Structure formats: C-alpha cells, structure tokens
Chain A
Amino acid sequence: MIKTAQDMKSYKKQLKEALADKFLRSALDNFNTAYRENRPTVYEGVDFEGIKKEIAAGKDSALPHFIEMFEEFKAKAEAAGAKVHTAKDAREANQIIAAIAKDNRVKKIIKAKSMTAEEIFLNDHLEKKGFTVTETDLGEWIIQLRREGPSHMVMPAIHLSRYQVGDLFAEVTSEKQESENIDKLVKVARKQLRPAYLEADMGISGANFAIAESGALGLVTNEGNMRLVTTLPRVHVALVGYDKLIPDLKSMFRILKVLPRNATGQAITSYVTWIKGAVECASSPGSRKEMHIVFLDNGRLALARDPVFSESLRCIRCGACANVCPIYSKVGGHKYGHVYIGAIGLILTLFYHGRENDRAIVRNCINCQACKEVCPVDIDLPHLIKKTHRAVLDQEGRTPVKNFLLAKVMKNRKLFHFILRQSHLAQKPLAGKEPMIRHLPHFFEKEHGFRSLPVIAKTPFRDQWKQLRPQVVQPKYTIGFFAGCAIDFIYPEQARALLKLLKGHRVQVEFPMDQTCCGLPALMAAEEKTAKEVALQNIKAMQPRDYDYILTPCASCGSHLKHNYLKIFDRDPAAPANLEAFMDKIIDFSSFMANVLKISPEEFKGTGEKVAYHAPCHLCRGLQVVEEPRKLIEIAGYEYVQSKDEDVCCGFGGSYSVDFPEISAEILKKKLDNVQDSDARLLVTDCPGCVIQLRGGMDKRGTKIQVRHIAEILAEALK
C-alpha cells in the first residue's frame, strides 16, 4: 500500500525511480502545461481573485464555530431521520463504521470516492473485519485493484497509462482488452461494477459540504457512481471531516463557482447532489434508508485553533496545487504526498499522519509559488510548507548540520562575507582560466554535474562601490540599492549595468555597507530565527525614510523583502516599527525602469536581436510583475520572442538545487528545451539566482544562447 519515505536516503531512492518512469513524466508534464493553458478559458467571466478572497474569509469566520455548526447540522439532519456520530480519530471512525455495518448485518459494501476515507484507511479496516469493499469511482477502483494509494486527489489513477489499465482489466475480466480504446475500458468498469451496486448492503460516501442551516450534505461528482452508492444499498454512511461544515447554501454555491473549474476545468460537474436525512429505500426493512453521518476530527478541531495552520482547513480538495507544481509533474503523487497530495499534502500529512511520514517530503518544495497562485481558497501554501518543515524539526528536536551552520554563519555578516571572499580563492583551481566551474571535484556526486557553476567574483560589488558611487546634484530620486548576495559576490557586473542605466536620470544611489543576505535561504531551510535576525540587520542598515525606493535587481530578494518580512514577524513584538515602511519602499528593477523612470526607446540603439524571457517565480508570482520586463526588452530595441512555459520555475530555488539535484536538472531541462525551440539568441531574466541556473545549464549544453540579467542587455543597448 502507501509507502512514504521516512528518511531522506530512501526518499531520494524513490525519487530516482519516479524520475525514470517515462510515461509518468510525459503524462504529468503535459497535464501541467495543459492545465495552465486552459485556465483562462475556464475562468472567463469569473472574478477568480474576488471569489477566492470571499471564500477564504467565509471559511475563516466559520473556523471558530465548527462545534456550533456541527450541533446545528446534527439537529436538522436527525430531524429528518439521519443518525449523526462523531469520531475523535481514525481508529474511532473506523470502529464506528464497522459497528454500523455489523449492526445492520452487512456483508458487501460499495464505496464512492472519499479522500477522508483514504485518510483513515477505512477499506483496510473494513476488509480486516471481514467485509467485502468495492470502490466504484473508476480511478479508485483501478488503484484498489492494484492495491495502491491515489496519486492525485481528483484523478487517483493519473499515474497509469491506458495499457496498464487494459492489462489490469484483462486480468479482472479474464478477457483480452483493447487498451488503445479508452471508451471501451470505461465500459468495462460500467459493466463489471453494475452487479456490485445491486448486491451491496451498504454504501459509503464522503461529502464536499455539510450545510449547517439545513443538515443536508452536498456532493459534487461526475461519474454517477456516488448517486448509485447512496441509492441502491439499504445503509448509507457518509464520512465527513469537520472542515466540510459550512453555514449555508449560499456558501456552497460560492465554492461551487470555483471547485469544478479548478478541479476539472468544468463550469459545473455532471452531478451536484443534496442528500438530507433518511430517504425512501425499498430494500430497507422500514422502507427508509439507514442513514449515518460520521464526523471526523482527527486533529481538525485543534488545527482550527492554530493561529498559523488553521488556514489549511480551508482546502476544498480541488487538486490544483499538484496540477501546477513543477515537482509534482516530475515525480508524481506517490512521491509527493502521503495520502493527501501536492502542496497541501506536504502540510496536512504532519497533522493527520504524523511527522514520520512528512519529514522527507516536506523538504521537497522549491518555493515557486505556482500552487499559491491557483489555490481557490487563498491558502499561502509555500509559506505553510516552510512552517510545517519547521514544526517537523521542532517536534523532532533536531537541528540538521546544514541548519546549524547556516544559522551560525548568516547571523554574522562579517563572517558570512569573509567565507564568501575565501571561496573565490578556493574555487580558483577548479575553474582555472574558465569563467565557470565545469567539472566538479570527485567528492560531489555526479547528479550535481547538470550545470556549470559560477565562480565567486574576485572583487565583490561592495569593494567596488567607493569608486562607483555616483554624485548627483539635485537628485530626482534617492534609492537604497539592495544588491543581494548573488549580485554582490558573484555577478557585480549586473549591479554595474544598473548604475550605467541610471546615469542621466538624476538618481542618487546609496549602497549601505551593513546590508546582508535578505534571509530567504534561511527561511527556505526553515531557519526562521536566522531569517528574522538578518531581516532586522537589513532594516537597520537601510532606513526607509532615507530613500524614495529600495531597489533590488534580484527578484527573489525583492519578493522576500516585500512580502515575507511581514509574515516572519507575524504577531512578534520584536517586529521593528518601520517594518511596513521598509516593505513599501521595495521595488524590483523592471518596475523601477518601466514605471518610475519610464525609460524610452530614444535612449537605445536597437539591435533587433531576438530575446527570450524567463519569468522568475518571485517576480511574476511573488511580486506580480508581468508586463514590465517584456516591455523593457522591446523599449531597448530587442525583439522579444515568446517561448513555452515562460513563467514556469527554472529549477534553481537556492539550496533546493543542491538538495534535489536530479529534480532541479529535469525542471531546467524542460526550460532550456523550450528556449531552444524559440529562435532566440539571448535568454534574459530578472534574477541572478535564475541566471546561475540557466547559464550553468546552457553552458553545459554548449549552445550559443547567452543568458543575461535584463539590466545587462539594457545597459549594452544604450546609445
């Protein structure tokens, strides 16, 4: 059954196997692209951003009232003949359901799809007690026959090809199957499962909604099996998490606007069903259905009170956070979750299935923000994943060596910068006269060799600053320049390009020497404390009142400074008074050039060279800057050529690419393939981190495509 890795070593082994599954890779990659491309059509005429805020607010205001809503639901449902139970954990829920089956002399059970039933491993329990359980949702039936867990919350068998399904059905029916023809395979399930409905004594379903004001359950389905499961057998048991409680029908309709769109790209599913109480049932002794509703706690009520994690209870299980995740699309759901899958799975696993099952998978997030952007209930998934990682470390009372060193070094700017300077010397023998390190020393494992590595600059930008500092009389703007470690120590030329561009615009630039790492790498390693300390150092170094803007050409730093600083000081009395003023002053390179300086084509020569663009995650989603860089490319006289999946992550993610090199390499490969498919000569981006990854990869490929920071190509095009 489900075998989630409980340590990094076995996890990496599993990942390697998953990466070798060619069908899985192409199926999920295509799905990822198709899903994103289809979204604008699906959401035409729907205010996604507005509705998602409304749903989130509605869900949040219901959280403190689960118990009252439950009482209201129970009274209404029981008035219509249902019996309502509560289970504090998985064990209790399993016992209750088995007891209902026993009391009603049930032998055969049919099931409709329910993630909550998966959560408590209900089938295993019922089978152990001697009941025959048949899943009836097509995907669930397939994985039940294969004795696997779901690999997606909406499409549980998405990891299988039609041929694998065909072989399986051939075994079940003892007849050869035409696997090529999916319609025929579907009809096999229709035919095989019909008798099961008619023979079953009990049907088990989940529910998408439990409506407090009416005591009705709401179910959203497509295949029609749930309707049969809740109609033909004489007993119906619905297993419902407390988080499915909503106050009223209006709330359900609001969610119904986004749930099918997000899950399957439909405006509405084939069936939406409301079941209230014990309906007519001819096969039941009293001609009424024996109707039971079991409410599952299993940690939900405690979670509802948690100031940070309660947000995760908003989830409506649409599955979209997996659909768009670049890592899910490389390794599949069996390696990207335990029972719950995708971004939300990395979080909920800790709460519902324990830290052992989460400790490896929770580290496998590159923080690309793609999931957050599509989540219809506005859960800040990447943020909560890091928080979950921290919670796992705290529960285990463990500090990994990497975290220990990171904390020690990062907190002390002088030590950190000293080490960076020393690295230049250490790297020298590796790079020789080359601009990059192309061969790693033998103590690195070979999976790290997918890209060349940059060398640390001989003279960091901070050491060049004295000579470079412009003197502007009557400046129009004074900006604080936040370079970020990558530009300061690896690519000082990107900062010089910026200075060159600002010349003639009457911009006074200041570079406070006490600025240090923005703190994102610390947060990525779940080292919140360190992230806070460096944040304080930066805010102290760059007093917001001294500048019109604090400008950074690094999208990752920019998005971290602008959005994460508030989150890491959430409810913290140590938060500096000028925190928000500081965050308000942050601006990225492209927005500053396009919207503040409003640079114009007259300044540039116009080479007409073809330029492809990579949209950094932290720019297009983090800072929501989309148009500006593309505009700048054109303003500077280049020809911007579109390539596929421009806004998909490049696979860098700082230390992610060191921790999970094989996944990073796969993500990068797709990115570079797409760029090579365009006829661009230059690949341009707004983040030095992405430059490290993309340039390293292009260098390894030996292509002629140059990878540059957008500031560089703009500076070169100046008249």
Chain B
Amino acid sequence: MQNPDLIRQMKEKAEAVQVTVSTIHTMEDAFQYTVDITKKQGGRTVVAAGLKTKEQGSLKNECESSGLRLLEFPLRPHANEIHTSLTIVDGGVAETGTLVLDSTSEDVRIATMLAETHVAVLPASKIKPDTTALENELNAVLKADVPSYTAFITGASRTADIERVLAIGVHGPQELHILIMEENKA
C-alpha cells in the first residue's frame, strides 16, 4: 500500500534535515543515481548492501562502465576508501523523515558509517506514519535472543559542538540521499 500523504510527509521531513529526496521506480534508477552522484562528487568507489546477485552484477557493470569500482565484502579492508554506499532500507518513519535499517551485518554498518555519501532506497510501501506503528515489528527484533544492531537514521551526521553552529558531516556520512521507490508505476 502506498499512501501519497505519507510519502509527501516523509519527503518534507527528510528535506527539512538536509536530505535530498527523489522518487524512483526501478533498481536500475537507483544504480544510475548512485553512479551519477559518485561521479559528480569525484568519488571513485561504490559499495552496495542488500542487493540480489543479479542486481549486484548489473550495478558492477554500471560502475565499471563509468570508471568506478564496486567494492566487495568484507568491507573492513576497504574502510578508508568508501565513497558512496547504496543500501535498501527496511522502513521509514514519515513523522520525522527517518530511515530504519537493520545494521546487524557488520558490512552494512561499515558501509553506512564510513561512506562519504549514503544513498538509501526506501520502498514506498514501507513508510510508517510514526514510531508507534513500528513498535511491534521492532520489538520482535529486539526481544529475540539473538544479537542485533538496529539504526534509525535521520539526515546526515551532524554536530553543533563549536559555537553551536550546525555543521554537517562530522564522523558519519556527509550526505544522505533517499530514493523513494514507488512500485507498480514504472
């Protein structure tokens, strides 16, 4: 179910925290976007988490034809060279423009924490109005007797520690781009 009001709110709230929000219809669009933004920023590497093997392959082609390198997992050896990371997130919270990302996999964490730019694909159907709507789902993850690392991400990394002046991109990504995937409309 895609609720246009929720999508609109998600977009507005995310933009209010300096996120660039776009709408896409296929994963191909996401790959194109990722490659374009990386080139524009002068980056040389891309990493992607959560793709199917076939998708991974086509992203790799796309990168290579543009002179970019798609980094392979595990990411630790590449920790210092990640420019753009592309992830498919698990949900969104429209009320605050927040992304929900299961980050239990270490590679997902490294990808989203050490990249300069984070591009997140958010399926429109996974946007929830508020945290209350997410409570049961999240609780199920937290209560299970297995380790987990779950992240709410709202905008890029920021600080106001010097003279209370807002500065974006302190330790985490300097830019966050959300691509809202509206299915069935290709």
Contacts and interface: CB of A to CB of B under 8 A. Distances in A.
Interface of A: 27, 31, 76, 79-81, 136-139, 142, 155-158, 160-162, 165, 182-183, 185-187, 189-190, 193-194, 198, 211, 213-214, 216, 222-225, 227-228, 230-232, 248-250, 253, 256, 264, 266-283, 288-289, 291
B37 interface: no
B163 A162 contact: yes
Interface residues of B, number: 50
Given A227-B109, A280-B105, A270 B149 contact: no
B153 to A, nearest CB: 6
A271 B151 contact: yes
Q: What are the 4 tightest A-B residue pairs by CB atom distance, in nearest-first order?
A: A224-B172, A277-B147, A139-B161, A224-B157
A270 B153 contact: yes
A289 to B, nearest CB: 8
Contacts of A211: 142
B142 A216 contact: yes
Interface string B110-126: 10011000000000000
B142 A214 contact: yes
B153 A271 contact: yes
A272 to B, nearest CB: 4
Interface stretch (B41-49, B50-58, B60-68, B131-139): B131-139
B150 A274 contact: yes
Interface in B137-186: 138-139, 142-143, 145-165, 167, 169-173
Contacts of B110: 231-232
Contact of B149 (A185, A187, A264, A274): A274
B142 A250 contact: no
B151 A273 contact: yes
A253 B130 CA distance: 10
Contact of A198 (B79, B139, B158): B79
Given A190-B169, A223-B159, A249 B147 contact: no
Contacts of B146: 80, 277
A282 B76 contact: yes
6 contacts: A79-B145, A136-B171, A182-B163, A227-B109, A231-B106, A279-B148
Given A264-B160, A271-B153, A279 B145 contact: no
B157 A270 contact: yes
Contacts of B169: 186-187, 190
Nearest to A80: B147
Contacts of A270: 17, 153-158, 172
A227 B105 contact: no
Contact of A137 (B95, B161, B164): B161
B152 A272 contact: yes
Interface of B: 13, 17, 74, 76, 79-80, 95-96, 98, 104-106, 109-110, 113-114, 131-132, 135, 138-139, 142-143, 145-165, 167, 169-173
A361 to B, nearest CB: 24
A27 B163 contact: yes
Nearest to A158: B164
Contacts of B98: 268, 272
Contacts of B96: 267-268
A190 to B, nearest CB: 6
A155 B165 CA distance: 11
Contacts of A250: 135
A227 B173 CA distance: 12
A649 B24 CA distance: 54
B108 to A, nearest CB: 10
Contacts of A76: 143, 145
B173 A224 contact: yes
Contacts of A165: 162
Contacts of A160: 162
B148 A272 contact: no
A271 B135 CA distance: 17
A185 B167 CA distance: 10
A228 B76 contact: no
Contacts of B151: 227, 271-274
Contacts of B172: 223-225, 227-228, 270-271
A222 B158 contact: yes
Given A198-B80, A214-B139, A224-B170, 4 more contacts: A157-B161, A185-B162, A230-B149, A250-B135
Contacts of B114: 228
Given A161-B163, A190-B170, A273 B142 contact: no
B76 A253 contact: no
Contacts of B159: 138-139, 186, 222-223
A249 B158 contact: no
Contacts of B105: 280
A194 B113 CA distance: 11
A156 B80 contact: no
A101 to B, nearest CB: 22
A156 B161 CA distance: 7
Contact of A162 (B74, B142, B160, B162): B162
A155 B147 contact: no
A276 B142 contact: yes
Nearest to A279: B147
Nearest to A179: B162
Contacts of A282: 74, 76, 106
Contact of B171 (A27, A31, A193, A253): A193
Contacts of A224: 113, 157, 170-173
Contacts of B161: 137-139, 142, 155-158, 223
A165 B164 CA distance: 13
A249 B135 contact: yes
A686 to B, nearest CB: 34
Contact of A80 (B17, B109, B145, B158): B145
A231 B142 contact: no
B27 to A, nearest CB: 26
A27 B170 CA distance: 22
Given A227-B113, A253-B135, A288 B147 contact: yes
B104 A279 contact: yes
A32 to B, nearest CB: 11
A56 B74 CA distance: 45
B14 to A, nearest CB: 11
Contacts of A137: 161
Contacts of B148: 80, 216, 274-277, 279
Most buried by B among A156, A157, A214: A214
Contacts of B173: 224
A91 to B, nearest CB: 30
Given A249-B142, A283-B76, A273 B152 contact: yes
A16 to B, nearest CB: 24
Contacts of B132: 253
A82 to B, nearest CB: 8
A279 B79 contact: no
Contact of B109 (A182, A190, A231): A231
A216 B113 CA distance: 20
B89 to A, nearest CB: 14
A288 B98 CA distance: 29
A189 B155 CA distance: 20
A272 B103 CA distance: 12
Nearest to A211: B142
A155 B156 CA distance: 19
A176 to B, nearest CB: 17
B83 to A, nearest CB: 14
Given A224-B171, A271-B151, A271-B152, A256 B142 contact: no
B80 A280 contact: no
Most buried by A among B13, B149, B170, B171: B171
